[in-house]
Amino acid sequence: MTIDLRLGRWQDTLADIADGSVRLILTSPPYDNARTYEDTCEPVDFDELAAFGLRVLCPGGVFAMVLDGAVNDGVQSTTPYEVICSWAKKPGWRLLQVLGYGRQGAPGAYKGRFRRDHEPLIVMVKDGAEHVCEKGLIATASKQDLQSRVGRANVRRRDGGAETFGVDKSGNRRDVENIAHRGSLWWYGMVGHCHDPSAHTGHPATFSEAFALDAVTVWSNPGELICDPFAGACTVGKACQKLGRRFIGSERVQKYHEIGLRRIGESAACERAFRAEAAEKGQMVLL
């Protein structure tokens, strides 16, 4: 699968994406000038970003965006809520729902307020077709189903995530029958302190690799095109590489672009080693 990480402003580098060609935009743009990236800080024009999404997404395509608001002197920014209300009124798509991307907040006293353990995950769907929503693929299988119905001895998952599929006696992949679907809070714990490798890339604001894997799995099909206009350390691209999706992304800071390219190269090497080891042991590899 093609993984294309481009260097520059997304408005320039992604201008050649064909209309209606993208299944999923998965991203987390900077907000409220809350952080500088290598001494640069460029405000996001969310109307411009919405227009881009409406142009490149296919009918039924999903725009999933993690977007928080800064807190200054105890006052919470309304940026994510303004974006939600503004985007939901734009013709051509609809607000599916607002989920919670859960991660452990930084410790502290938080005088007069509670620690923030989640960020809004805004999910928009372009009109014209049903959206892909394979939520069963990230559901949790019941112990009974796994123990009594699923043969697991010769199966390895590529992404290391929760086991949600089984293989019957004939070697065919199938869904398990008893599953617990996830709710509106997608919890990944603290990103950092060895909990998630994306925290150790050198980029100051990454989201969990497990989250990227889950989102790409749920809202796209193998072989489809995924886009991240604010690619950072290319966590979304790495997930696409593992899951057999095409990826195109943009990062304007050269240091982070180089980090992303390195991660993609390392991921490809690990994938080859993983498959070779599985083949040597006679194991099947599931997507």
**Residue 76 burial (10 A CB sphere; 0-12, 13-18, 19+):** middle
Which residue segments constitute the domains of the chain, with CATH numbers given?
Answer: 3-139+182-264 (3.40.50.150)
Q: DSSP letter for 101, please.
A: E
Residue keyed to tokens 């227009």: 51
Q: CA-CA distance, 235 to 212, in Å (whole number)?
A: 7
The model scores a pTM over 0.85: no
Looking at the predicted structure, is the pLDDT value of residue 171 above 70? no
Phi and psi at residue 197, to the nearest 5°: -65, -20
6-58 per-position pLDDT tens digit: 999 999 999 999 999 999 999 999 887 645 545 566 789 999 999 999 999 99
How many helices (H) and strands (E) the chain has is answered by: 7, 16
75-134 per-position pLDDT tens digit: 889 999 999 999 999 999 999 999 999 987 777 777 888 888 899 999 999 999 999 999
Contact 230, 30 (CB under 8 A): yes
E-assigned strands of the chain?
A: 3-7, 22-27, 57-66, 71-72, 75-76, 93-102, 118-126, 140-141, 155-157, 165-167, 173-175, 179-180, 185-187, 225-228, 246-251, 284-286
Name the pairing type of β-strands 140-141 and 179-180. antiparallel
Name the pairing type of β-strands 165-167 and 173-175. antiparallel
